[in-house]
Structure formats: C-alpha cells, structure tokens
Chains A and B, each alone.
Chain A
Amino acid sequence: MIVAVYNLKGGVGKTATAVNLAFHAARTGHRTLLWDLDPQGAATWHFRVEAHLPGGAKRLARAGTDVDSAIRGTDTDNLDLLPADFRLRRLDALLDSAEAGREALVHALAPVARDYDLVLVDCPPSIGRTTEAVLTLVDALVVPVIPAPLSVRTLDQLTAFATERNLRPRWVLPFFTLVDRRKALHQEMLATLPARYPDMLSTAVPYASDVERMSVERRPLATFARNSAADQAYRALWDEIRGRLG
C-alpha cells in the first residue's frame, strides 16, 4: 500500500502527519517506509537522518536506478526512511524530460516495495510533474486541511488537477488539522465541510504545541508526548485510515 500525504499549500502539517502516521503504522506491525520527497527535508530531519540522496533528483528520474541503498533504518522499529535531498527541488524539471515520465517514481520504488507493507510519501507543497508522478504511484492520498477557506480551496484544486489528468487515486482522504475549536470559523468548517466531502476522515488533529516541539525533539510525538491530545489524534487518524484502506 502506498499512501501520500499531500496538500499543495504549505504549513498545513503534512510532515507532522507523515511522521506520526509512519510511527503508528510501524507500532502496529506494518513494515513502513517513509519517503521524504520534500526538498526541505523536514521528515528526514525529524528522524535525525542526513538529508542526502546519492544522485539527488536525477536518481529518481533516471530509468533503471533504484533507491535501495539510500534507505536508512530509524530509531523506530519497523520504520525506515528514504531521505530527502535539497536537489529534489529540481525533480519537477527532470521528470518533465524523464524517459519513464509519470512512472519514474514507480520504477524507482519497485525493487524495494516488497520489503514494506506501507510506503508513506511526504510530498512537497507544490503542484506539477512531481504531483503527477506521486498520483501515478499511490493508492491513497491523505490530505491535511486547515478548517479555513483557502486551505479547503487547495483541496478542490488538487481534486481538479487529478481528475483532469485521469490520475485520481483509489482513495482521497482529507482530514482537518491544526484545529482550534475556540475559533468560530473552525467550528463552522468542521460542521459543514464533511457533507461536501463524504470521504473526509472524522478524526481532527488539534493545534498543539507538542507538534511544534517535534522539530526540537527530532522524533515522533508518541516517543516524547505519548497520550497527549495530538498523539491521541494521530493514533486515531492512523486507525481510521487503516480501517478505510482495509
């Protein structure tokens, strides 16, 4: 199963989602690979791995190469990481002329895919060739959405982009993140949006300073704030996604 955490808008908690979902997947016995495709390398940072992918973006765009030797085990059992690299910022351009085109990421991952039950892809906040390649690769998209109009708009843009290219994955699973229930707008969106997006997950991840602390601790939430409100939310989110994906 290959799942991407994606939103073209930045700052919506994609990396926190990818890191914590990967942790809970691993905890529940899934052999998990977290693939950090974001050149910023935040997921890589959280696992204390060097943000270096030998060959950089070219390695992913080039036919006949795989990513096996670049994978690193993390401090979480069952959880490996395919690190980011700042050169991944050129991936869009390279995929444009890549022989394998949209299939490039599929080819790159194929030799190691059998080692894992779940591959979670932390995507860059952009829309373009990389997005197309990710949509070709994945079975499901998990889309963190801040309960605010601009964030919701990006969900519509993503849906339109995928539909236009006939690349809609089997599951598109939006969920609310950075929720502040003291805000009337958040309350309103939480109440009304699920009717518009029937596949929306019911778990909402609250805004929490513990999540921000992850980048200081450089590890998943459950390893330093187990059972905090945010940890419980990510735990529930994983259980819900697992249930949806079957």
Chain B
Amino acid sequence: MSETEHDLGPLTFCADGPLDAVVARVAEATGAQPEPPRPVERTWLDSFDWRLFGAGERLVAEPGPEGVRLWWTRGERLHRAIDVPAAPRFARDLQGPAGVDLGKRLDVRALLPRVTVAGQAVPLQVRDGLGKAVVHVEVAALAVGEAALPVRVAIRPVRGHDDRARGASYALQQADLRPAEPLLEVALAAIGARPGDYDAKVELAFADDEPAQRAVRRVLRGLLDVVVANEAGTRDDLDSEFLHDLRVAVRKTRSVLGQLARVFPADAVAVHKEALRWLGQVTSPLRDLDVFLLDLPGFEADVGRLGAVRELIAERHATARDELVAVLDSDRYRETIESWRAFLAEDSAGPDGRAPIDAVVRARIRKLAKKARQGAAAIDAETPPEALHDLRKLAKKLRYLTELFASRFDPAAASDAAKRVKALQSKLGTLQDLAVQGPKVRGIAEALLARGDVDATDLMRAGALVDRLERKRLRLRDALAEGYDAQGLREAYKQLLGSHP
C-alpha cells in the first residue's frame, strides 16, 4: 500500500535526478519556497513485533533542538512531534500524554531501532498571504548505509488546509513525479528486511488430507522459529516480552507434543518432551521475576513504595538473567534446539501420523473440550485449588490446539471457542497467580529480614500487600464459586467441531 490518503491524492513521490534539480521542479510545480539543504539522519523505532506498524503508525527519531525529535505519524498525518533529550526506550520514558498514548500501543515492549536513513533534505513551504505555511514539502536524497535511494518528495498537510495539500499533490503528479512506496518499506528492503516480519502467532493452512505428522511438524517448526527469533532479545534483556514469547512457544510446543503424541514415534516424543521440559524449567525463574517487576508498580500504587523489596527483586533478577544467558550459551541448549530441528525435518510417524490432520485434531479437541466442560461445570465453593489448577492447564492445552489448528474450522467459530476457553483459563490463571504471589512477597520480606537491611515501613507495606493479595484471591474465588458458563463453552465447541473452513 502506498502512503496515500484518498481525499488528498498521493503524498509521497520519487523522482530521478540530483537533489537540487528535483527541488527546483517541486518549487516550480507547487510554488513552495525552499530552505537551505540540511543533513538528516532518521531512525524508525518500533517494537520487535511491529506494534506501531501494525497500527498504521510510524515513529521516527532524528536529531532535534533538545537532543532528539520524534515524528510520530498516524497514516499520512502527523500525530505528534516531540522534542526529548534522548530517544525513549519504553513508553514510560516519555512524559505526559505522549507517554500514555505510546503505552497504549507498546504496553511493556521496548522501542528498537529498525532501520536508519541518512542524507540531505530540503524543506519547502507553500505559504499563504500572511506568510503562514499551508503545506510542508520535503525533498530528500537519502541512503541506507551505502545504498542510495531515489530522491523522495513528501507532502505534509497542515490542518485546515487540505485543499492546498491536494493541490500540491496534483501539481507534483502533473510534473511527472511518481507516487512512491512508503519510505520505511523501501529502506527495510534495502537491508533485506520487511516490516511485520515477526509474529509470535503461528497460523498455518492445512490441506484436507495432509498427513498429521507433516502438519504437526510444520506447526512445531513455526513455534521453533518463534523460540529462535526471541533468543537474542532475551539474551540482551531488551524487554520482558522476548522471554515471554520464547516461553509461550516452548509451552505450546510441549502441549502439542503431549496432546498429539501418537502422531510421532513414542521414543522420540519421550526424548524431546524431556528436553523441552528442561527448557521450560530453566526459563521460569527469570520470567517469574519479570512478572513480579511488571506487577510492582501496581502493588506500590496500593501500599506505597516497596524500596527494599524492589532492590532485592532487581538483585535476584540480575542473577537469574546471568543464569539464563549461561543456559542459552550452553552446549545443552544448542544441542536441544539442533536435535529438535533435526527431528522436525524427518517424516517419521507414530500410530496416528499418516492419518489426515483434520481427523486427528478434531478427535483431540473433542476430548479436551469435553473434559474442560465437565471440569468447568463442576466448579463450586468446595473445588480444591489443585483441581482448579489442573483445569487451568487443561484449558490452556485446549486453547493452544484450537488456535494452532484454527484454519481447519470456520473462522468465527474458532475465534469464539478460543475466546471462551481463554476466558476460563484467564480467570483460573489470575487465581493461581494470586495464590503464588502472596507467599512470594512473604518470602521476600523474610529474606530481607534475615539480611537485616529492611526498615519497618517496608515490612509493614509488604505485610499489607500480602493481605491485599489474599483478599483479592478470596474475592475471585468467591466469584468463581458462583459457577462458570460451562454450557456456553459446550455450545462454542459444538459449533466449532461442526464447522469447516
């Protein structure tokens, strides 16, 4: 899609020839007055999973009067220009509404530099009779590294003067300038990349008669790609989502391998299940601490600053990260990944491996859905925590299969079923998290006390937090005791299993 808006015409063009010649053509065509050329260096910032790009937005950093100027565009319009001392890494690094706004897109993800262009740019303005700019135009000769891009011309509309932007667009088309592809895509292509090249979701299509072992291997290869894609970010601690995505991909892998075990030879399944269990296990401590750090601002909003707790968690986090980096650098990790990849390249099959994937997946989902429905229907005030925890794990397995093989069903039915089972899983998950968090905070407080470097305020706040978490858990447990819409879950899966792509 080119950078255009239907009502204004194309707003980005490219032209052959040197910068000054293009500037002259643009000035003549539009009546815009050029300013002197200036050097530019622009870096696109986005999260690893392209959250801004996915929302139709771009965030570009360039040197500015305060240090860095951020240009945040939504579609072709400027959304915000922000002068800051340094480019933000997280949304929280931006003060005020801009930070809140960015947080809605990024959540906890970090901004990463995706590509940089540098060169010369000439700003031009079309001004009205009072001397105010009514259209901004820029002509730029840019390069990505050594790779020069064709000279680009970009029109930036000014609110209240769309007619003038439309006029400038028309004039440039009449002057034989060619509408251009968006600069981000062009710059990325120059380095062999493209935006949106990472997605933690594995969504594949399957042929009706595709043998199960082949289809499941394709899914597992997709999940392995997610694991590998997140290794570097986890190692460099860019943000907590790298490890999260890595762990979710491992968990989905283990779940699929467990649920569809009969697709592969039993001995291979046993070996790889054990290796993947280890991978899940060694990544747990850091993730637990990540979650605690992410929850900490909310805890502190409730009970006040937890200074010593925060320090101890940060200390443990640093240790856990070093340990995880050592794991990722270890022979065992490399061999686990290589051996798993080699297995996924085979075509060995277990008892169900040659059967069509459709039949295999439907049978398994049917069985899991029945168990989940029965478990959900049985929830009452007496249900023991272990049973709720097991039900949560079951719901998660069902959800993973539903999502990974969604293309075998009607899309709306698949989406509805996944949403319902996710709701059950989330509710039970929050309960489980609360059950774990309280004792964890107590353990931290005890550790601080044992070290003798904690003051009474910190301890009292930690105590208040434990109390609040427990009360919240009990409230949630009471709400669960009122029952869950197991019938809704049943209907959703009946619809799903009766549907086809």
Contacts and interface: CB of A to CB of B under 8 A. Distances in A.
A30 B161 contact: no
Nearest to A74: B132
Contacts of B94: 29
B131 A48 contact: yes
A78 B156 CA distance: 13
B132 A242 contact: no
Contacts of A117: 96-98
Interface stretch (B74-82, B203-211, B414-422): B74-82
Contacts of A209: none
Main secondary structure on A side of the interface with B: loop
A47 B83 contact: no
A77 B98 contact: no
B450 interface: no
Given A74-B132, A77-B78, A226-B65, A31 B97 contact: yes
B97 A30 contact: yes
Contacts of A70: 160
A27 interface: yes
Interface string B46-83: 00000000000000000001100010000000111111
A118 to B, nearest CB: 8
Given A71-B159, A80-B159, A29 B98 contact: yes
B11 to A, nearest CB: 15
A87 interface: no
A72 B402 CA distance: 51
Interface in A1-47: 26-31, 47
Of A29, A71, A74, chain B has the most CB atoms within 10 Å of the CB of A29
A236 interface: no
Interface in B137-168: 158-161
B281 interface: no
B95 interface: yes
B130 interface: yes
Nearest to B97: A117
Contact of A49 (B65, B66, B132): B132
Contacts, number: 63
Contact of A73 (B65, B66, B79, B158): B158
Contacts of B84: 29
A47 B80 contact: no
B132 A78 contact: no
A240 interface: no
Contact of B161 (A29, A31, A72, A226): A72
Nearest to B131: A48
A99 interface: no
B130 A78 contact: no
Interface string A67-90: 001111111011010000000000
A49 B96 contact: no
Interface residues of B, number: 23
B80 A31 contact: yes
Given A78-B80, A78-B81, A30 B96 contact: yes
A26 B158 CA distance: 15
A77 B81 contact: yes
Contacts of A72: 132, 158-161
B27 interface: no
Contacts of A69: 160
A31 B82 CA distance: 10
Contacts of A188: none
B133 interface: yes
A102 B230 CA distance: 57
B386 to A, nearest CB: 46
Contacts of A28: 82-83, 95-96, 98
A210 B456 CA distance: 55
A50 interface: yes
A52 B383 CA distance: 71
A77 B78 CA distance: 8
Nearest to B100: A117
A85 B132 CA distance: 18
A29 B79 CA distance: 9
Contacts of A26: 81
Given A72-B160, A80-B159, A29 B131 contact: no
6 contacts: A48-B131, A48-B132, A73-B158, A73-B159, A117-B98, A226-B65
Given A72-B158, A77-B78, A77-B81, 7 more contacts: A28-B96, A28-B98, A29-B94, A48-B130, A72-B159, A242-B95, A242-B96
Interface of A: 26-31, 47-50, 69-75, 77-78, 80, 117, 218, 226, 242
